[in-house]
Structure 1
Amino acid sequence: MNEGVEWALHCCLNLAWAGPERAVTAARLAAFYELPTAYLNKQLQALAREGIVSSTPGPRGGFRLARQPEEITVLDVVTAIEGRDPAFQCTHIRKRTPNNGTLLDDDFRQPCLVHQAMARADLAWRRELAGQTLADLKASIEGVAPGAAEGTRGWLLGGGG
């Protein structure tokens, strides 16, 4: 999983704390974490294509959450950045073994046991991510760092940096 997933999740949380009143620029979000603006903007555009954030052009433009935090799952963010393909890609290497000549085409109709195990793990991982929303993450963070929301909002909307 690329680092863009981490960046996107943190930015979505920050946009939730910033609130819907004002858009936050990619440059401001990038400065908050000392990230390259151009690369972060690519992640934000991927989120916009999936309807997770909305983008407003112009001098007062920037990004906002497009939906309520309760309506955005961690899986939504991950798939916006990484795509929907399974993490494991089977290349059917068992077809290239020396004993392949003794196997019939019927032996390859079902995915091999390695593929099946990885598919089960991928499904479990996706279910876990789909079961957690940005609102859940936000509440957990606020529980251990009560000032995070207010501090982040103030910095992003002009009070810091």
Structure 2
Amino acid sequence: MRFTKATNYALHSMLTLVSASPAKLVGVQQLAESQGISPTYLSKILTRLVKAGMIESVSGANGGYRLSRQKDDITFLEIIHAIEGSASLFECDFVHGEECLIQAVMKEAEEKMELHLKNTKLIDLAQKQSKL
């Protein structure tokens, strides 16, 4: 199983924003440099997070991004869904008379993973990071 690099960049950007002061705007240039990627590419990823209602963009010379929700509520699963969508990771391509047993196993595993990601909040990582 593999998520796209966009999800990796989104998770790291969101961790930075969760760790930042609520009053402080974080620029796309700063976020991009910290991850070694193009600001243009990261802007496209951040736009998805804006559309998902997790962050807001403030334009202008001193503009940037900040959270638009309480940082205690943002989960890994939300961020992943904002970037990857919520389609199932595995779909059986064979026609079966009854439910595919392989599909059932894969679905159960995905549900367990999603539950873990839903229960894991970015604020928890930000707190661990600040103690390092």
TM-score, normalised by the number of residues in structure 1: 0.75
User: Percent identity of the aligned residues?
Assistant: 32
3-state secondary structure, aligned to 1:64: strand
Deviation for aligned residue 1:89: 2.2
3-state secondary structure, aligned to 2:109: helix
Aligned mates of 2:105, 2:128 — CA distance in 1: 32
Q: Which residue type is aligned with residue 111 of structure 1?
A: E
Q: Which residue of 2 aligns with 1:71?
A: 73
Aligned mates of 1:59, 1:70 — CA distance in 2: 29
Q: Which of 6, 11, 16 is equivalent to 2:13?
A: 11
Q: Which residue type is aligned with residue 136 of structure 1?
A: D
TM-score, normalised by the number of residues in structure 2: 0.91
Aligned mates of 1:39, 1:112 — CA distance in 2: 39
Q: Indicate conservation of the 8 Å contact 2:92/2:100, yes or no.
A: no
| Residues 94-143 of structure 1: CA deviation (Å, up to 9, x unaligned) | x3xxxxxxxxxxx52x4200100010011000000000111111122223
Q: Which residue type is aligned with residue 16 of structure 2?
A: N
Greater Rg by CA: 1
| Residues 67-113 of structure 1: CA deviation (Å, up to 9, x unaligned) | 1221101101111111011111222x2x3xxxxxxxxxxx52x4200
The alignment status of 1:125 with 2:127, answered yes or no, reads: no
3-state secondary structure, aligned to 2:112: helix
Aligned mates of 2:21, 2:13 — CA distance in 1: 12
The alignment status of 1:82 with 2:84, answered yes or no, reads: yes
Q: Which of 24, 27, 39 is equivalent to 2:26?
A: 24
Q: Which of 90, 114, 127 is equivalent to 1:139?
A: 127
Q: Which residue type is aligned with residue 126 of structure 1?
A: E
5+ residue gaps, structure 2, are none
Aligned mates of 1:56, 1:123 — CA distance in 2: 36
Aligned mates of 1:79, 1:126 — CA distance in 2: 10
Aligned mates of 1:141, 1:22 — CA distance in 2: 19
5+ residue gaps, structure 1, are 96-106, 146-161
Aligned mates of 1:61, 1:89 — CA distance in 2: 42
3-state secondary structure, aligned to 1:115: helix
More helix by share: 1
Q: Which residue of 2 aligns with 1:39?
A: 41
